[in-house]
Each structure stands twice: as C-alpha cells, then as structure tokens.
Amino acid sequence: MNIDSIKDGIVIDHIQAKKGLDIYNALKLGELDCSVAIITNAKSNKMGRKDIIKIDKNIDLDLNILGYIDPNITINIIENDERVDKYHVELPKEITNIIKCKNPRCITSIEQELKHIFILTDKEKRTYRCKYCETLNEE
C-alpha cells in the first residue's frame, strides 16, 4: 500500500500498532484543515507492526503528550521533501485532561469545569500525581 510522501509536514512514526487512532484523538487531529493519514499495522523491522501518522502541513502542535502516551514514538519534521529534524518526545512535566483522577475524594470529582492536571513527580518511574490531591496515576 502506498501513501504519498509529504512535502512539508510532520510524520509521527513508531507508534505501537493499533494505537494510531488514540494519538489522532489525543492530538485532536480531526480538527485540522489539512490532510492527515493514519497508517495502521505497517511492517516494521524494529517493532514487527507499527502505526504511522502523516500530517500534510507543518503546524504548531503540542506533541509533548506523546511522550506520556508512548516514549518510543519518533517525530520527523519534513520541509521541502527533506527530513530536517527527528526526535523522541520527552515526558511532559504536566499533562492536562488526558487522564482523569480516580480518587473519589478529589476535588476534580465535583468542581465544575476543573481541568484534570497531572504533574510528573518521578521521571525514571514515569510517575504522575494529580495536581490537586497528589493521588498517583495508575496506568
């Protein structure tokens, strides 16, 4: 199967197979006005199978959240048919409205329109705690 290469844009590669749609939703790519391709179950020497997302425009996306979802993901920035940058995204220091606090005693369970914010407290163990009640996020 062939998908056209992109001239200017972002390629999110090495996504765990079948997780592409989750990332599409987390980054709200459906709201963009450019072409976005999700390739699922592509062959990968490293991973066996993987998903890839191609975004046909160099836009300013908050990609930090990808570091939380899957640290193995690689980001490729394409300009004039050339890859000008390739990197892994670091764990974000703070994540908003991606995970919900499960502590029934947390203020987020009752306060209207309060954002669910988690703070990175241990980088090595990938530990996040609720900003309000400090409850650990159990993945």
Partner 1 sequence: MRHLIDIKDLSVQEIDELIGVAKDIIAHPEKYQEKCKYKKLATLFFEPSTRTRLSFEAAMMELGGNVIGFSEASSSSASKGESVSDTTRMVGCYSDIIAMRHPKEGAPLVASLKSTVPIINAGDGGHSHPTQTLTDLLTIFCEKNRLENLTIGLCGDLKFGRTVHSLITAMSRYKNIKFILISPDELKVPEYVKKEILEKNDIPYIETNDIEEHIGDLDILYMTRVQKERFFNEEDYLRLKDYYILNKEKLEKAKQDLCIMHPLPRVNEIAVEVDDDPRACYFKQARYGKYIRMALILKLLEIK
Near partner 1 by CB under 8 A, which window of 13-21, 39-47, 63-71, 127-135? 127-135
CB 123 to partner 1: min, Å: 13
Mapped onto helix, strand or coil, the DSSP state of residue 99 is coil
Give the x-and-dash track for 75-104 against partner 1 (CB under 8 A). Answer: ----------------------------x-
**Contacts for 18-26: CB closer than 8 Å, 24+ residues apart:** 18/51, 19/51, 19/69, 19/70, 20/51, 20/52, 20/53, 22/69, 23/51, 23/53, 23/66, 23/69, 23/70, 23/73, 24/53, 26/65, 26/66, 26/69, 26/98
Can you tell me which of 14, 91, 109, 119 binds partner 1, judged by CB under 8 A? Answer: 109
Nearer to partner 1, 64 or 135 (CB): 135
Is residue 15 close enough to count as binding partner 1 by CB under 8 A?
no
Cβ atoms of 75 and 89 within 8 Å: the answer is yes
Near partner 1 by CB under 8 A, which window of 20-28, 33-41, 42-50, 128-136? 128-136
Cα 118 to Cα 134: distance, rounded to the nearest angstrom = 8
CB 92 to partner 1: min, Å: 20
Count the site residues for partner 1 by CB under 8 A.
19
Cα 129 to Cα 136: distance, rounded to the nearest angstrom = 5
Nearer to partner 1, 90 or 134 (CB): 134
Q: Which positions lie near partner 1, rule CB under 8 A?
A: 103, 105-112, 114, 121-122, 130-136
